[in-house]
Structure 1
């Protein structure tokens, strides 16, 4: 059980594998990355990093999962349903891509999409969107295999909205996550991964706000592992150079 993806990094081709139990060699690529591995192992040639995230156990009853959310989140979900916010499992990849690019610009993040373009979304992703009066205002892109679903990208138009619409978009985001959970449980998926939890020593208000948002859904804090191996010397040099440029341009948190 795993999801094998391929993405381009300029002139290089990277194999990115999600939810594998262990890393292993892959031929024919400039590099390989194993993400969301649950086992802590040492494999020659692979660099290992820890990754902390929040995971919701989907083997529980839906009522229990809902009750584990904070009262304010349950209220927001009910309010979003009452106000007619529409959540769809969607194919509006180009619309969401545009929202995500605008969202990143407004947050002063790099516009580099990490290879997660419209083609990548269509081939590998599961997209949910939220609509208010027929307008797509937010979306979440997930990756999944038979037993796992993991949030990869989330973006909205909240920076472009007035105060009332901003509140509606906030409610829509919570309802969207709830609909993702229900979708995954119905498919027999056993874990919903909220896509990371910041545990760095340095204070980072933006990442701490994201932590606060994710905490409201409940879940258990766990450690997963990322394994990387570079097969191409040119790719390794280019990757290190890119990190240095990002660090100088956007600061340490975006390197």
Structure 2
């Protein structure tokens, strides 16, 4: 379980609690549970189902790679031939800048200072091509549960034509996921959480994201987000933490 303290509406303190069991009804107005493994109703909260794909990396590497589809395996190999390399990035401010530039191109919400509250529980990785960082991932790590959860993924490419850039970035993204799995496996983590899955969606963009996640295999898991029933607080949580 991971817990951080922050503020809602600039004055009200609240806790964001990840990967917990059944939420506590005590101080329910001040607690927001993300991806709880409990799936029943709890007084004081509104429960929302949260689905995600989880890959078991507590196996031999060839075992979880065997669940990748053919195209994904090919793209990973092609990225290596392209000369894409991956590494860990330690500068969180640089990641935020990178992500926010990406967010502008996709009309997504920008990251704010809340991410700093996670401290050492955030791990950043990146893929580099021709000395340019083109894909970055931010993970939330839970040492107790041996679980890593993809929080944010972003890609930028400034030096190639669009079609070639998208192809290279797509291959680099797959390679980065694979190398991240291997990295976290080496560090003793067991569950690689791809960060959400849009069940029943008809949105073409979300369907493509689902297909991308499906290409790595894994197990579809249902968890729960528990939001305070207070209307203003509920709306705030939905705006800043919806994933």
- 1:47 and 1:182 map into 2 onto residues whose CA distance is 37
Greater mean deviation of Cα atoms: 214-223 or 43-52:
43-52
CA positional deviation for 1:82 = 2.6
- 2:73 and 2:184 map into 1 onto residues whose CA distance is 19
Residue 24 to residue 115, structure 1, CA distance change in 2 (3 Å): farther
- 1:103 and 1:208 map into 2 onto residues whose CA distance is 20
Question: CA-to-partner distance for each residue in 1:55-88, whole Å, 9 max, x for gaps?
Answer: 1112222101112101111111122223321211
- Confirm or deny: 8 A CA contact 1:47 1:228 kept in the other structure: yes
Equivalent residue for 1:131? 128
CA positional deviation for 1:115 = 5.2
Equivalent residue for 1:81? 80
- 2:77 and 2:34 map into 1 onto residues whose CA distance is 34
Greater mean deviation of Cα atoms: 69-78 or 159-168:
159-168
Residue 8 to residue 127, structure 1, CA distance change in 2 (3 Å): farther
Equivalent residue for 1:94? 93
Equivalent residue for 1:152? 151
Equivalent residue for 2:208? 209
For the pair 1:59 / 2:58, whether they are aligned, the reply is: yes
Residue 154 to residue 208, structure 1, CA distance change in 2 (3 Å): same
- 1:139 and 1:79 map into 2 onto residues whose CA distance is 19
Q: What aligned pairs does 1:169-248 form with structure 2 within 5 A after superposition?
A: 169-201=169-201, 203-229=202-228, 236-237=231-232, 239-240=234-235
- 1:100 and 1:220 map into 2 onto residues whose CA distance is 28
- Confirm or deny: 8 A CA contact 2:25 2:44 kept in the other structure: no
- Confirm or deny: 8 A CA contact 2:121 2:142 kept in the other structure: no
- Confirm or deny: 8 A CA contact 1:106 1:159 kept in the other structure: no
Question: CA-to-partner distance for each residue in 1:105-143, whole Å, 9 max, x for gaps?
Answer: 2112234x36544x2464431111111122211111111
Unpaired stretches in structure 2, ≥5 consecutive residues:
none
- Confirm or deny: 8 A CA contact 1:93 1:121 kept in the other structure: no
Residue 26 to residue 188, structure 1, CA distance change in 2 (3 Å): farther
Unpaired stretches in structure 1, ≥5 consecutive residues:
247-253
CA positional deviation for 1:22 = 2.4
TM-score normalised by structure 1 residue count:
0.81
CA positional deviation for 1:13 = 3.4
Aligned length: 237
Residue 151 to residue 22, structure 1, CA distance change in 2 (3 Å): same
- Confirm or deny: 8 A CA contact 1:150 1:194 kept in the other structure: yes
- 2:196 and 2:79 map into 1 onto residues whose CA distance is 25
CA positional deviation for 1:160 = 7.7
CA positional deviation for 1:238 = 5.6
Equivalent residue for 2:23? 23
3-state DSSP class of the match of 1:44? Answer: coil
- 2:139 and 2:105 map into 1 onto residues whose CA distance is 22
